[in-house]
Each structure stands twice: as C-alpha cells, then as structure tokens.
Structure 1
C-alpha cells in the first residue's frame, strides 16, 4: 500500500490589536480582577502597527517569505528590526489586517449573530474587497450594516460581545441562546474567530497551490477551541463549516482535539486515512485562539517591549495519495507518548524521538531537520520560558549522545545543523511541529534534505482530567519516485510477461525432469 504525501501548505496570520485588550485572557482577567491596573493603562502604548507586524522577521518566515535558514542568520532579538522587502503577501499565505478580518467574521456567521456598524461596514467592505481572495458574492453578502445605537443596546443590555477597531465600538457578536453558556456571546465570538481564520488558511491553501476544492474528500480541524451546545459541549463541527465556506462541497470532516499536540495527531490521522485508501485528499486545518492574545503581555510591557502576541495564527495542509514526488509521510515511523512513559521533559522527548528512529533503524543524525515546538524566542524569553526550540534540540542531541550516535563535543553542532530558530506565535497548537511543513515540502523535493521529523507535544493536565503530558511524532522523507511502499507500480502487460516467463520456466523444468 502506498504511503500518503504532504502535498501543499497554507499559513496565515491576522493582526488583531484591539482583540488583545478585549479578548485576550490575560487582559480580560486583569480587567475583572484589577480594573485600575497600571498594566492595562500601558497596553495601548505597547501595541504594534500593522506595518511593524508585517516587517517582523518571524512573521515573514511564517508566511514563507523568509526561510528558516535566512531567519537563523539574523541577529536576535528580532523585535524592532524591519526586514527589507517585507510584504503582507507570502508564498504560503498572508498577514491580514484587523479590519479585513472583521469582515471575514461577518462572512463566517450563518446565524445572523455578527452585527457591524454601517460606516464601519463600508470601510470593511472596501478594504476586504481589495483582497485577492474576496469575491463579488461575499461583498454582496456583507450587507449594509446596522446602527451604532442598536449595537450599543445589544452590548450593554443583551450581553453581546463587543467588537472594537481603533479603540472604537464597531460591532458585536450576539449570544446564540438565552440560557446555554456554551452558546453565549463570548464563546460564539471565540468560535467565529477560529472559523474565520481557519477559512482564511483553507482559502490560501487552495489558491496558492491551484487546488480544486471539489477534489477534497475530508477535512480535519485541529485547533484548541471546541464548539457545541449544552447537550454536546465540544461536539463540533468546525471542519465541515470551514469546508462549506471554502467550497469543498464534496468533503465531510470532523474535529480533532489534543491541546498543542493536535495538529501532529491530525497529520498522522490524515496520512493514515489516505494510506488506507479511505480518502484520497485530506485537509487538516486550524484557526487561531483569541484567548492566547497578549498571554505574556505583562512580561513584555514590564521589559519595555511591544506586546508580541498580537496575531492569530492559522494553517492548512493537504495530504494526498502518493504522486511520486511530494514528501512521503512515513506512518510506519511514528512516535508517541504512552500513558506509562512518564511526564519529565526528558521522558517525553525520548519517547517521541527514539521510537520512530528505532522502528526505522535510523540514527538521530539521519533526520536532517527536527520541527519541534517552534515558538518564537522573542516572545518566550522575556516571559522566563527561555528559547523553547533550542531547549528541545539540546535534549534531542543528548539522546544522540546517550545512543552513542553523537559525541558530547558535537552537541552544539547538532543543534545548529538539525535544529531551527522558532518563528511561530504562541497560539498553543500553532507552533507544535507543523510550521515547518510548508518548508519541508521544498526541502524534501527541490532542496537537499532527505528526512525531517514533525514533533507535536501537549499539556493534557490543563483540562484537569489527568496529569499526563501528550505527544506524537512522524518522519517525513524525500519521495523515492515509487508509488507503492514495496516497489514501483507494475503494468498489466508487465505482469502478463512475468507470468508467461514463469510458465516457460516451469515447462522447461518439467521437460528436463
């Protein structure tokens, strides 16, 4: 049976400065607990402009305009240094400004929950209309907007979730049920953000790679939020709602949840479904999480930095049948954190790295690039979490030493050669292995690399059901050109010739017996 391949990728960022203050958990909790907080007063002074967000090196890397190698050559920290030639449009997707994204929130709403003020609607339509992804049908669907007085009443009296732009109230998201807390305005806002950013990533996957959405059979959504009502909290389905808006009318789908590790779980699941010939083309997609906006904002402000968690992240990957050229997803070389593995960082990383290596009789140095928790150190180091990817690479190198495949003196060399600098926003699931997938497609086809490993890790204890960690990994390798795991495909004529040759040999054997 032929292995599935990693066919195409799409990546998007959405600059949402107003959502930091009004929807990021750190800020909303601070407002509730300490409304006169000095931190909250300083937040507006520490917000980046859209131009600053576009010109930021890790963001340019995320959308494909800067390679990981080129990023690694730039002096750190990257914050405050513009990258020459930066663009909001990237090889993999785009960086979208807030006004256009609010228009997408409205387009994502099929229950008339999103209300936008008339003059802002005019602005949103004009700006979104400039986007290459926008269609005349979408612009018509946006409508004319509503009065500010009506929106103020919905927010102040009916507990709608306010939408702000440039510090001004420009709209709201209504609650979807009078008593169901799972359908209150706050949850509906978060879920519509997930859906809209997921749709944006899906659209770029299709547009940037000339994919026919009608060819997509199945969609797996793997973000950190969950949609449902009081009778089926988290029942979903983001996946089909995104497929619907993306024109994938021949697709079905479901949501897969696993905290930060979910995208790698989804990648392995998609590859397995394709390899089993259950579906031919599977898309995994994830939108962003407003709760994570400004998550480390207090530390950034304290150190005089801008609030760097000012973007939502989204991605989409296409996993397809073996085409003889795209990188192969080796579903036989998978690592997993078992229940009995243990929860120390060393135990987790050993399980995820050693297991697939042992299955494939590989050395730690046989993997050209490891993609781990690719979090941007500009964000994590000021918050006291250090350089997360670097810490992971040092542990992988230590595994190599323990296995006798590296000398201790080669640790730093290994990190530099087999590791990468982190460039993903701290959106939980977004950094976990998959940011490199788009680059891996190039590195393992037109580039010089032969193998990569995608590693996803998660913190299951956050759900208060278990103290366990989680994680899975998979090896991705250069395609040999064969379309079956046990050799190249054989034509019917070749099979007939082989049978005839065997029969002649058998007949000769009988004659000589």
Structure 2
C-alpha cells in the first residue's frame, strides 16, 4: 500500500527589520556601498504588515485563495486590488515580526536571545493568545536589560533585533571564537527552527495525535553545528522538541532547492517500508534570502517583495483510504549521467518515470515544479520560472507524440499554475502546492499531480552538477494500510498452518520408515 499526504501547513513570517540588518543583499551593500543610492532609497519600498497580508500570492500560500486566482493577472501582483487578506488561512498563517521575535526567544534553549522588558510586556500576552499550544515553552520568554547590547553588536558578538527604528533585543554568539556559532549563524538557525516549528504546529493543531508521529525530516538550506562538525544538525529533533512530539526522533536532509522532494520521497519510503507510521517533513525560512533581489525591485520602483520568511510542513502517513497516495514506485531522478540541458532534465524527472510505468505526460493533471512568484523573479531578470518549466514539459509531450502542437498553450494553462511562493530557495520547490493538492484530489478536481524539485548543487563548489527528483501523487484507491496489515496477517497464518501440517506429515512418514 502507498503512503499518503495526511495534512500540510504553510507559514509566512513578516521580517522587514531582519531583512534590513541580516538579508545578504543589505549586508553586502552596507559593506561595499554604504553611501550608494540603494541604501538611500529602499525605505519607501518596504511594505507594511497589512500590505503583506493583503498580497494575493501570500493568501494563496496559506490557503485562503487558490492558484487559479492569479490566472490572467498582469504583473506586478501588488497592483491587484485585494482587501480580503486574513492572517490565518485554511493551510496556515502569517505572523508579524513582533511575534517572530518572541518565537525566536521561545525556541532558544541556550539563552542566546534577549528581548527588552518593554517589548515583552507590550507583546507577549497577544502572542500567548494566538499560540496557546506552545504554553510549555512560555516560561522562557522574559524581559532583559539591554544596557550592553550595542557594545556586543558593534563587536560582532550579537545581531540586533530592531522594531520601528528602535533596538528591542539581540541574538548573541554562542561561542567566543567559533565562527560556526557566531551571532549571525545563531540568528539564522533560530529562525529556521522557529518558522519550521510553527509550520509543524499548523499540521498538528487539529485532529493529529502528537504521540503518533514517529519521525521528523527537516529540509531547509541552513546548517547547524560547531567548529568540529559544521552542519552536523539536527534541526529536525529540535523542532520535534518544541512541538512536544515525545515519541519522535529525526534527522536533516540537505540538497539545496531539491531537498523538500528528496525528503518527501525518503519519508514516504520509511512509511511504505513500515519503519515508521507517521513522518513529518518540515522546513524553516532563510534569513539571508530576505531582500535578495531588492536592488532590482527598487530600481523598477516596485515593493521589496522578499520581506517574509517561508516555512512548511507535511505529514506523511500510512494509507487511510481517503488521502492522496504517494506513488513510491513512480519517482524521477536527475542522475549523475543525466546532463544539464533543460530537455535532459525534464526527460529524467517527468517523461521517463511516467513512461516506465505506462503513463503519458498528458495523464498528469497538475505539475508542481519550482513555484517561484514571478513578481519577484521577472524584475530581477530570472524570468517566469514556473512558466519556463511548463513550456519545457509541454514541448517534451509534443516531441514524444503525446500532445498536438496546437494544444501546447492550452496544456500549459490546464496543467500549470502561476507561481505564488516566496523566493526562499527550498520553499518554492514543489511543496507550496501540497495543501491545495490535497484539497484538489480529495474533491475530485484532479486525479494525479507530480511534484518536481530541482537544485543547484554547484552553489556548494563541490560539483558542477544540477540535481532533481520527482514523485507522482494520485487519488486514493480506497484501501487502507490497516486492511493490508490484516490481510497480510491472515495470509501469513494460512502459510504457517500449511507448513505446520506439511511438517507433521513428513514427521509421521519418517517415523513409519524408522
């Protein structure tokens, strides 16, 4: 029996101040061009929390709107008159930066995060009302004296937490000389843990028994460790601890943007094999990518769209007879020998795994590749990433004789989607559609979908290779893992009875011969 997608959770954390102080583009500008036009002019392009909530792609991300809401809409999406934004959605929520700062302190186990008394007094009560499930961690959140904060920040032993132009806290280094435990990296890692944890919280908020989750796989792009084991981990188990998943263990999977689909395949295989019954795949956001393309957005007089940290979590479980099935036997792989041409990549990830199992490209109802928001990537010169993927998939279907050339544009419209995910690297990679996909398959809107994750391994300077994996999802066949277990048990008993009877007869014959 195939494992299933049980539930999914998606979160966005508004972080304009972290973008200003820790986003890679801003850090580089302050070092190399402190008096440049960008730093002089960007402030007028920073969005308010209200604007972020009322931004249509963000509402799609948390499940209040469907991807179809962007069809036919012209760029920039920020020009769309949309006033129905909500901070909580069907599949997740959007938190403000005050809540994010409190969350950083709440997930901190080593007293690295300091918040002022005034800040805690003004904001903690609202936080407690919104996240009562985290009550066991509330004792960690307390105000501190920030008298020596600026001294630590100036000496690079702390990273600032600012709000409305005022210092409200800081994150200090975890070691005096170990760069891997610097204030910069501790802030990044705590942000991964925090946004990953609330994404997992969304999954288990209703109807999921926390004690039933056996394993957690974390698949963000950051790494935690010290000088002796840089990147050793483990985000997964630390997130499980915050969520009080007492029966779970876990590990981290890294693969740049392809990591989420790698992790989904790994989790599905573990469930399929019976090693674990319920596996949570989770990822937190990436601080350095805040404002990554801000220079281009400011030049083109656009809002700075990369002002949110993304997070997601999906629960993969034994077959329940109703949730979408994960076809662990239909997996696409970008192998070492695949090559890097677009045609070779799409052939290995889409056409080949389908053909090997008697299916055509046209048999898939929806493809979810890198669902990057074109509002972000087009002004930056990176083009419309999802559209480029769909064009290649459609062209390959034409080449293989599965699609008439005249139907190419219609194929892209029917099988594709307009991107809506923030450019957080791994966050847009296939996963953003899973919540919507569960709904689409359960309601009969579609029968099959394919998740496609791709990664740029060359960024690590260890290889020039690309990477990619894919997996097919389908509507449930109606059979459950439990039924399979019972059938298996019955079959095994019949076999045991048969063998026992055969051995008895053999024993009798041997006795007679003796």
Determine the C-alpha separation between the residues in 2 that align with 1:492 and 1:103: 50
Which residue of structure 2 lines up, in the alignment, with residue 111 of structure 1?
Answer: 110
Determine the C-alpha separation between the residues in 2 that align with 1:400 and 1:485: 38
Counterpart selection for 1:267 from 242, 246, 264: 264
Which residue of structure 1 lines up, in the alignment, with residue 506 of structure 2?
Answer: none
**Given that residues 332 and 359 in structure 1 are in contact (C-alpha distance below 8 angstroms), is that contact kept between their aligned partners in structure 2?**
no
Say yes or no: does 1:438 pair with 2:432. Answer: no
Counterpart selection for 1:405 from 372, 380, 402: 402
Larger mean CA deviation between 255-264 and 446-455 belongs to: 446-455
Deviation at 1:487, TM superposition (A): 8.0
For residues 488 and 71 of structure 1, do their structure 2 counterparts lie closer, same or farther at Cα, with a shift above 3 Å needed?
farther
**Given that residues 202 and 315 in structure 1 are in contact (C-alpha distance below 8 angstroms), is that contact kept between their aligned partners in structure 2?**
yes
Counterpart selection for 2:199 from 198, 201, 205: 201
For residues 488 and 168 of structure 1, do their structure 2 counterparts lie closer, same or farther at Cα, with a shift above 3 Å needed?
same
Counterpart selection for 1:348 from 323, 345, 350: 345
What SS class does the counterpart of residue 42 from structure 1 fall into? helix
- Aligned-residue RMSD, C-alpha: 2.1
When the two structures are superposed, what TM-score results if normalisation uses the length of structure 2? 0.93
For residues 33 and 10 of structure 1, do their structure 2 counterparts lie closer, same or farther at Cα, with a shift above 3 Å needed?
same
The unaligned stretches of length 5 or more in structure 1 are 501-513
When the two structures are superposed, what TM-score results if normalisation uses the length of structure 1? 0.93
For residues 358 and 55 of structure 1, do their structure 2 counterparts lie closer, same or farther at Cα, with a shift above 3 Å needed?
same
Determine the C-alpha separation between the residues in 2 that align with 1:491 and 1:273: 19
Which residue of structure 1 lines up, in the alignment, with residue 504 of structure 2?
Answer: none
Which residue of structure 1 lines up, in the alignment, with residue 382 of structure 2?
Answer: 385
Determine the C-alpha separation between the residues in 1 that align with 2:485 and 2:234: 39
Q: Where do residues 86-101 of structure 1 align in structure 2 (5 Å cutoff)? A: 86-101=85-100
For residues 485 and 323 of structure 1, do their structure 2 counterparts lie closer, same or farther at Cα, with a shift above 3 Å needed?
closer
What SS class does the counterpart of residue 79 from structure 1 fall into? helix
Which residue of structure 2 lines up, in the alignment, with residue 291 of structure 1?
Answer: 288
Q: Where do residues 40-439 of structure 1 align in structure 2 (5 Å cutoff)? A: 40-72=39-71, 74-133=73-132, 135-143=134-142, 145-157=143-155, 159-207=157-205, 209-439=206-436
Deviation at 1:290, TM superposition (A): 0.4
Determine the C-alpha separation between the residues in 2 that align with 1:489 and 1:426: 46
Counterpart selection for 2:447 from 439, 450, 456: 450
Deviation at 1:20, TM superposition (A): 1.2
Cα deviation per residue 1:406-436 (whole Å; 9 max; x = unaligned)? 1111110000000001000000000001100
What SS class does the counterpart of residue 350 from structure 2 fall into? helix
Determine the C-alpha separation between the residues in 2 that align with 1:385 and 1:466: 22
**Given that residues 258 and 458 in structure 1 are in contact (C-alpha distance below 8 angstroms), is that contact kept between their aligned partners in structure 2?**
yes
Deviation at 1:77, TM superposition (A): 2.8
For residues 171 and 462 of structure 1, do their structure 2 counterparts lie closer, same or farther at Cα, with a shift above 3 Å needed?
same
Larger mean CA deviation between 310-319 and 445-454 belongs to: 445-454
**Given that residues 62 and 424 in structure 1 are in contact (C-alpha distance below 8 angstroms), is that contact kept between their aligned partners in structure 2?**
yes
Cα deviation per residue 1:347-387 (whole Å; 9 max; x = unaligned)? 21221011221122111110000000000011111111111
**Given that residues 61 and 71 in structure 1 are in contact (C-alpha distance below 8 angstroms), is that contact kept between their aligned partners in structure 2?**
no
Larger mean CA deviation between 328-337 and 168-177 belongs to: 168-177
Determine the C-alpha separation between the residues in 2 that align with 1:176 and 1:486: 51
What SS class does the counterpart of residue 468 from structure 1 fall into? coil
Cα deviation per residue 1:448-490 (whole Å; 9 max; x = unaligned)? 2110000000000000000000000000000111236998964
Determine the C-alpha separation between the residues in 1 that align with 2:211 and 2:485: 29
Determine the C-alpha separation between the residues in 2 that align with 1:319 and 1:390: 29
What SS class does the counterpart of residue 197 from structure 2 fall into? helix
Deviation at 1:213, TM superposition (A): 1.2
Determine the C-alpha separation between the residues in 2 that align with 1:18 and 1:311: 10
For residues 449 and 298 of structure 1, do their structure 2 counterparts lie closer, same or farther at Cα, with a shift above 3 Å needed?
same
Which residue of structure 2 lines up, in the alignment, with residue 24 of structure 1?
Answer: 23
What SS class does the counterpart of residue 87 from structure 2 fall into? coil
For residues 198 and 487 of structure 1, do their structure 2 counterparts lie closer, same or farther at Cα, with a shift above 3 Å needed?
closer
For residues 140 and 446 of structure 1, do their structure 2 counterparts lie closer, same or farther at Cα, with a shift above 3 Å needed?
same
Cα deviation per residue 1:48-95 (whole Å; 9 max; x = unaligned)? 000000000000000000011223254443113242421010111100
For residues 191 and 495 of structure 1, do their structure 2 counterparts lie closer, same or farther at Cα, with a shift above 3 Å needed?
closer
For residues 152 and 494 of structure 1, do their structure 2 counterparts lie closer, same or farther at Cα, with a shift above 3 Å needed?
closer
**Given that residues 115 and 151 in structure 1 are in contact (C-alpha distance below 8 angstroms), is that contact kept between their aligned partners in structure 2?**
no
What SS class does the counterpart of residue 382 from structure 1 fall into? coil
For residues 137 and 7 of structure 1, do their structure 2 counterparts lie closer, same or farther at Cα, with a shift above 3 Å needed?
closer
The unaligned stretches of length 5 or more in structure 2 are 498-514
Deviation at 1:496, TM superposition (A): 9.3
Determine the C-alpha separation between the residues in 1 that align with 2:104 and 2:79: 30
Deviation at 1:445, TM superposition (A): 1.3
